[in-house]
Chain A
Amino acid sequence: MIKNISNLGDAALYCDFGTEVNKQINSEVIKYFHTIKKKEIKGIINLTPSYNKLIISYDLRVTNFKEVEDKIKNLGINETEKIINKILQIPVCCDASFSLDIERLEKKLNLSREKILENFFDKEYFCYMTGFIAGMPFLGDLDKNIRVQRLETPRVKVPKGSIGLTEQFSNIYTFESPGGWNIIGNTPLEVFDSSKEKDPNLINPGDIVIFKQITLDKYKNYND
């Protein structure tokens, strides 16, 4: 349920679903996101779902706050409807050349490398949102035993395909980019394909992701 709708500037609605970060609230956000997207409401040009907010921006030449607010309030959302998730398996190689921060994690968590990876792999993670850089998924929730803060000093360049951990979330760097997450491995899978005109990103809000560990050999031959 939307707890409150306000305006963010003069060309967007700010829908507040609460302050906590959990799957239940986020699923509500995603349900609204999908419903509004499907309806193709006149004037709406962008939707940004996040943990517990949905920002709806509109073209002020076509509509205005009051009109869009009325439409959102009268959406007729089916509260019991379940969102259909895609389940995706993501291969990850944790060779020492990829797991840039595993030693840091071992120290911070007081766990062995094996234990950390055991806690991370073969579990279902929920995609809360995508963004920051194109296609980057924010996946949760990590096991309580492997939650850490981000790096004190972010890396200038995190390699493309890196799998990072911070607090309750894991992400995938879809491009080489600056970043402060703890890197434990790398995926050979193209998570964001900018050559695709339609659906360039593999993982969307609401999807379920399962990480599968692969060997360096398999990693190297993955795209053959």
Chain B
Amino acid sequence: MIKNYFEIIRAGINTTFQDKGRNNLYHIGIPFSGAMDNRNFLLANKLVGNKLDLPVIEFAYQGPLLRFIGDKISIAITGDIIFKLNKKDNEIDGNCYETYQLDRGDEINILSTNKSVYGYLAISGEFDIRSQWGSYSINTKANIGSNEGKKLYDGQKINISKINLDQDKKRMDYFNSKIENIRVIKGTNFNYFSEEGKKKFFEKEFTVSKLSDRMGMRLEGPKIENIINTNIKSEGLLKGVIQVPADGNPIIMLSDHGTIGGYPKIGVVVSADYDRLVQIPPGSKIKFREIELSNAETLFKLYEMETQNLISQI
């Protein structure tokens, strides 16, 4: 039997395996994790003909340079990504949302994300990796998940345990829309902030800080003044929760967030905007817009319907 694997020539900045995430573990301090941009995770799997919940390779900014050793395999890359394929005789500029077949020795060179943060690489098959607590997702801060909870590293081999026989060429047209206005539901501590602070929160621009990662997105901009208490008794957090610590700079909790925290919650990003929120790169300007729960539920239904439509078109 021929062994199939990828050699990681260059791992990239933050390259991990991710899937749908872990449930039912918040109460012991284990966060959800999972692919940051869920829609692009699903589309990557669908393009290569996989079950939609299989783990894929997630990368941020600069992705990996991988050499494939083995039989033929198909790959697809989703997101807004600049990448090349180095085949035996030629170099191809890759298109996202299109499958490519790799032969022994071919290389995928994921150069960068384009005005976005995360991208996904799926293979028509399965990586030989171990799951932990129902998910393969890697949380590098807590060392949880496959690959011993660590990022992929230079020189590492990624074994492939199974390759699908069906590797039909597939492609789809998809444009990753961007958002600058993030829709938010008022948080449970909204009234901890001054009238001026609340106004600033919904009217002024904030800049995404370089200190953002899979745990959280830090923002810089007008300081939000707290008039009651800059701490609350520690309580649960969720992805999308916007906390404002004593320094007045909001932090949005993202998929690898700590499960409890003690800063007042000014708002929560609506579920429909999460996939696009995480794709906003540092240095970008964003604004928050308040909406009601019922509108947020409708928006999510529409977003989910759109995702399902996209999946069914492939």
A131 touches B23 (CB 8 A): no
B233 touches A9 (CB 8 A): no
A47 touches B233 (CB 8 A): no
Q: Which of A33, A52, A174, A192 contacts B27 (CB 8 A)?
A: A33
**Interfacial chain A residues near B260, Cβ < 8 Å:** 48, 50, 129, 131-132
> Nearest-CB distance from B265 to chain A (Å)?
7
A10 touches B233 (CB 8 A): no
B304 close to A (CB within 8 Å): yes
A10 touches B25 (CB 8 A): no
B233 touches A197 (CB 8 A): no
**Interfacial chain B residues near A197, Cβ < 8 Å:** 132-133
> Nearest-CB distance from B271 to chain A (Å)?
5
A205 to B111, CA, bound (A): 46
A72 to B144, CA, bound (A): 32
**Interfacial chain B residues near A121, Cβ < 8 Å:** none
A64 touches B297 (CB 8 A): yes
B132 touches A194 (CB 8 A): yes
Per-residue interface assignment for chain B, residues 13 to 33, with 1 indicating a CB less than 8 Å from any chain A CB and 0 otherwise = 000000000011111111010
- Within A178-224, which residues are at the interface with B (CB < 8 Å)? 192, 194, 197, 200-201, 204-205
Interface size on A, residues (CB 8 A): 45
Per-residue interface assignment for chain A, residues 134 to 171, with 1 indicating a CB less than 8 Å from any chain B CB and 0 otherwise = 11101000000000000000000000000000000000
**Interfacial chain A residues near B268, Cβ < 8 Å:** 8-10
The interface residues of chain A, by DSSP majority, are classed as loop
B300 touches A10 (CB 8 A): yes
B144 touches A9 (CB 8 A): no
A77 close to B (CB within 8 Å): no
B258 touches A133 (CB 8 A): yes
9 tightest Cβ-Cβ pairs between the two chains A and B: A48-B236, A9-B268, A55-B236, A131-B29, A10-B296, A50-B235, A46-B26, A131-B259, A53-B235
Which residues of chain A have a CB within 8 Å of any CB of chain B?
A: 6-12, 14, 19, 21, 33, 45-55, 57, 60-61, 64-65, 129-136, 138, 174-175, 192, 194, 197, 200-201, 204-205
Instruction: Name 10 A/B residue pairs within 8 A (Cβ), A-sorted.
Output: A11-B238, A48-B236, A48-B237, A50-B260, A55-B236, A60-B297, A131-B258, A132-B259, A134-B29, A201-B28
